[in-house]
Amino acid sequence: MGISIRAPFAGWCSALGEIPDQVFARAMLGEGVAIDPTGNELRAPCDGEVISIAAARHAVALRAPGGAEILVHVGIDTVALGGKGFKLHTRKGDRVHAGDLLISFDLDLLANEARSLITPVLVTNSERFRVVSASLDRALGSGDVLFELEATGPTETVAATEGAAGRAVISEAVVVEHAHGIHARPAALIARVAKSLPYELEIRARGRAANPRSLVALMSLGIRGGDELVIAGFEAAAAAGVAQIVQLVRGLDAQPAPPAAAPRVALIQDDPAFATTRPCGVIASRGFAVGPAFPFEIDEPAVTEQGGGVATEAAALERARNRVRTRLEERARSANRAVRDIMDAHLELLDDPQLIETARGAIEAGKSAAFAWRASLAASAAALAATGDQRLAERAADLADLTRQVLRALTNEETGHAALPARAILIAQDLTPSQLIELDSSRLGGIALLAGGATSHVAILAATFGVPMVVSLGAAPRGVRAGAEVILDAETGVLVTAPEAADLEAARARVAQASARQAQEVTQAQQACHLASGERIEIFANLAGSAADTRFAVAQGAEGCGLLRTEFLFLDRATAPDEAEQRRCYQQVADELGERPLVIRTLDIGGDKPIPYLPLPAEENPALGLRGIRTSLWRPELLDVQLRALLAVQPAVRILLPMITDVAEIAIVARRLDTLCAGLGVARPQLGAMIETPAAAMLADQIAAAVDFLSIGSNDLAQYGLAMDRGHAELAARIDGVHPAVLRLIAATTRGATLHGRPVAVCGGLASDPGAVPLLLGLGVTELSVVPSFIPRLKALVRGLTFERCRELAQRALGLGTSAEVRKLVNEVKP
């Protein structure tokens, strides 16, 4: 028997392909129709139970009798309104009848502030139900039949998810302190720990339960900062695992919020032609480019619904997943950190137990491997979209990417590389990380997407590659002719699709000037750096550990590595890396640097960087607990393994100790290092201390006597010096490293170092701040270590400064009272 799905409001009904959003238009979240509303009340499209309401109140999901799950999503990008203009008239768990009022909304407000009002009405478990008899291309009244659903497998009455509630043997509650809740990275950490445990666990939150081994299931809970979780186990032995995950949740790093997406730029002109030729969007990666338009679209692999037998289709899916896994692992091995992180996230999704289980269930119901995989990921994408969290909704793009990769592996289709013209401005509905990675970024001038989000993984990659990118441009650029010259201004969020000759000439001149300046800076960056007054200033790079990162840093003029973070080897895994793996990773960086100095920081873990196999004691304030060298001394066996690996690297590296507070900590490490050196028959390498606490700055004279060099971690020094948490939403903006109090701590450090002739470096974010650089040099800093891309610009800046003017400026800054006064001074007095 069919199920009738009715129009939730009056409006014009059309096919999903008319929706200006790739995820909906390509039925990635499920089959259905679109309706453009003329009313302001969303009514139940069928009898059923309310199973999900988005936090932004813009979407609601029902479970109909028989198990069909129906999602109604009002408008496109309405999640960004944060609930503005919406009013709820129902609650999760309510039983409703067709026509009951669920949500009312301000139609005028949405028309002005949302990208589109067109509303998808979908069946999200389309592996079990098929849309038939859809009412397309016509006006419908509220309650008219939109489409019929036909079951393709056995129907069932599905109760609300309760997991294993009521049979838990051990459970513990914990409040999520992380400001962003359980998003992708924390969920991945929890999933990896859960997979390493030999017993079943469950996480309950917001009235639902999830298998913690499933990244998708965890994210779908929509857990936010301040929510309470219950971690439950079902046998006495699970107590240790429950405690381990509780500790992991307590220690989740409160990373700063991603940069807020730039607001959609309002058009001053009212001329419709102007709006057509200059569509505005959201800035995802800043920059400016001019070049030939390159419309980009890849045909989706054809999918047959019916399978050729359970064994055949299951084996085909397994082979395809193995092919994709191999390709992702190969990319990750040779990629920079940003690409590697995204490949790791895709690998985690590829083996997600919930995705695999759902796909296998569809195969057992007679579906093909391709249909089953696509339906499984579409259902999970719908669950992420329904959370109302924009960051989680954008992870649906990762699921779409993985869907495409596995489907191509199933059909043996090769993606190949698109032949880009030089300076190409790629124009597409949306773009996935794998598609961008496969393109030749050296020929890519910019990216303009009709859909997409500013915090998506492809946006992160674009910024990493230095490619300007604007997203959410709407449908206006769709008809741009291939090869036509366009201007992409990713500083204001504008794509000029039909520029005037004068505008085009000015844009080309702007790009040429910027390119010439950049090329000159890169060329000059290969030379040693001196102040205009002759003093030598070393410019090093902060690195995350890959050969690709190191090669790029050398190409940008890095004179060495001032900070190699080793925690990248220890994070996101179930066991610590052994000595051989560490030695191999450190040596590949040393090989790329050649004879250039390499400073490697020992494991800086704990506090804001927990690792699952090292459960730290419960801490009220992890930032003041076991961090850096304290963690290493608490678990000295980890330190000894790392020191042995470091001593094996050639040429000899410099070892940097994090979070030092006094010389006693240095003495303990020095004794262990001397013992290891004697056993290995090698000379002791240079040993340095990080100055990240006020205590270390005040004792810099004593610390300098015990080590060979000092390195200031300005981010932590500012945080501890000002007693403001970098992850605190209200305080983060007030933490400024040029605050006079922080500058005085830096001055104390350089004075102490000078007494013993020790060099002082700055490897924190302050070294990349053009306004802070003259102050640091004036205080006596002789080495700056920064992100590789900033090295040419930094060297050009340093070469224009004189030491006397920098010192005069720094002394004046030390006498001021606020960071604002210091910033004003630097702007007014050019050293």
Answer with the residue of higher pLDDT: 81 or 607.
81
User: What was the pLDDT predicted at 769?
Assistant: 84
How much is the pLDDT for 418? 59
Whether 685 and 779 map to the same domain: the answer is yes
Residue 519 lies in a domain: no
The lowest-confidence range among 260-274, 540-554, 670-684 is 260-274
Q: Which residues make beta-bridge pairs with 201?
A: 233
Given a cut of 80, whether residue 409 has pLDDT beyond it is yes
Residue 508 lies in a domain: no
Residue at 175 is within a domain: yes
Q: What is the mean pLDDT of residues 459-473?
A: 82
In terms of pLDDT, which residue wins out, 37 or 345? 37
Give yes or no for a contact between 787 and 565, defined as CB atoms under 8 angstroms apart.
no
Instruction: Among 379, 411, 443, give the residue marking a domain's end.
Output: 411
In whole numbers, what is the pLDDT of the chain averaged over residues?
82
Of the given ranges (38-52, 131-145, 210-224), which has the lowest mean pLDDT? 210-224
Local confidence band at 164 (pLDDT 50, 70, 90 cut-offs): very low
- 677 is an active site residue: no
**Are the beta carbons of 468 and 291 closer than 8 angstroms?**
no
CATH no. for residue 359?
A: 1.10.274.10
Q: Which residue has the higher pLDDT, 566 or 260?
A: 566
pLDDT exceeds 90 at position 646: yes
Q: Do 547 and 692 belong together in one domain? A: yes
**pLDDT confidence of residue 382:** 67
Last residue of some domain: 378, 411, 444?
411
Helix or strand holding residue 462 (H, E): helix 457-465
Task: Give the pLDDT of residue 528.
Answer: 94
Distance CA 507, CA 487 (A): 7
**Has residue 406 been placed in a domain?**
yes
Is the same domain home to 440 and 404?
no
Q: Is residue 267 part of a domain?
A: no
Q: How far is CA 101 from CA 45, 46, 58, 96, 652, in A?
A: 10, 11, 14, 9, 72
**At residue 428, does pLDDT exceed 90?**
no
Asked if pLDDT for residue 75 goes beyond 60, the answer is: yes
Question: How would residue 383 be classed by pLDDT, with cut points 50, 70 and 90?
Answer: low
110 vs 655, residue with greater confidence = 655
The helix/strand/coil state of 659 is: coil
pLDDT at 207: 60
Percent of the chain with pLDDT over 90: 37
What's the pLDDT at 152? 76
Residue 424 or 52, more confident: 424
Which pLDDT does position 253 carry in this prediction? 45
Highest mean pLDDT among 152-156, 330-334, 554-558: 554-558
If asked whether residues 662 and 782 sit together in one domain, one would say yes
Question: Which one of the listed residues 46, 280, 529, 763 is annotated catalytic?
Answer: 763
Tell me, yes or no, whether 546 and 459 share the same domain.
no
Q: How confident is the model at residue 610 (pLDDT cuts 50, 70, 90)?
A: low
Q: Looking at residues 153-178, what average pLDDT do you find? A: 54
- Pair (474, 554) in one structural domain: no
Query: Does residue 135 share a domain with residue 72?
Result: yes
Q: Looking at the structure, do residues 564 and 582 belong to the same domain, yes or no?
A: yes
Q: How do residues 339-372 score in pLDDT, each as one tens digit? A: 777 777 788 888 888 888 888 888 998 989 999 9
Do 290 and 507 touch, CB atoms closer than 8 A? Answer: yes
pLDDT of 269 strictly over 50: no
In a domain, 404, yes or no: yes
Mean pLDDT over 718-731 rounds to 71
Single residue among 393, 411, 429 that ends a domain in this structure: 411
Say which CATH number the domain at 208 has: 3.30.1340.10
Strand ranges (E), 64-144: 69-73, 86-88, 95-96, 101-105, 119-123, 129-132, 138-140
pLDDT at 271: 37
**Parent domain of 188:** 170-250
Instruction: Output the pLDDT for position 711.
Output: 97
The 170-175 sheet, strands edge to edge: 170-175, 228-233, 201-205, 208-210
431 domain residue, yes or no? yes
Q: Are 737 and 772 in contact (CB under 8 A)?
A: yes
Confidence of residue 632 (pLDDT cuts 50, 70, 90): confident
Contacts of 84 (CB under 8 A, 6+ apart): 109, 113
Is the confidence at residue 394, as pLDDT, over 60? no
| Domain harbouring 439, CATH code | 3.50.30.10
Instruction: Choose the weakest-confidence range: 241-250, 355-364, 573-582.
Output: 241-250
Yes or no: say if 124 and 67 are a contact pair by the CB < 8 Å rule: no
User: Residue 68 — pLDDT band, cuts 50, 70, 90?
Assistant: confident
Are residues 398 and 444 both part of a single domain? no
- Check pLDDT > 90 for residue 399: no
Q: What is the number of other CB atoms lying within 10 angstroms of the CB of residue 760? A: 25
Q: Rounded to an integer, what distance in angstroms lies between the CA atom of residue 649 and that of residue 647?
A: 6
Phi, psi of 150 (to 5 degrees): -120, 125
Pair 453, 459: CB distance under 8 Å: yes
Residue 518's pLDDT band, with cuts at 50, 70 and 90, is: confident
What is the structure's pLDDT at 258? 36
pLDDT tens, position by position, 16-36: 877 877 667 766 667 899 999
Give residue 719's pLDDT.
Answer: 87
Radius of gyration from C-alpha coordinates of the chain: 29
Report the alpha-carbon distance of residue 76 to residue 765 in Å, rounded: 37
Task: Tell me: pLDDT of 389 over 60.
Answer: no
Q: Does residue 513 sit within a domain?
A: no
Query: Across residues 226-233, what is the average pLDDT?
Result: 79
Instruction: Write the CATH number for 56.
Output: 2.70.70.10
Once rounded to an integer, what is the mean pLDDT over residues 36-54?
A: 89
- Torsional sign, CA 322, 323, 324, 325: positive
Assess whether 82 and 176 both reside in one domain.
no
Domain identity same for 357 and 389: yes
Q: How far apart are CA 99 and CA 90, in angstroms?
A: 13
178 is catalytic: no
Asked whether residue 216 falls in the same domain as residue 90, the answer is: no
Residue 215: band (very low, low, confident or very high) from pLDDT cuts 50, 70, 90? low
Say if pTM beats, i.e. exceeds, 0.75.
Answer: no
Domain count, the chain: 5
Q: Of the ranges 53-57, 62-66, 786-790, which one carries the lowest mean pLDDT score? A: 53-57
Calculate mean pLDDT across residues 772-777: 96
Residue of 58, 346, 457, 739 marked active site: 457
Check which CATH number belongs to the domain holding 695 and give it. Answer: 3.20.20.60
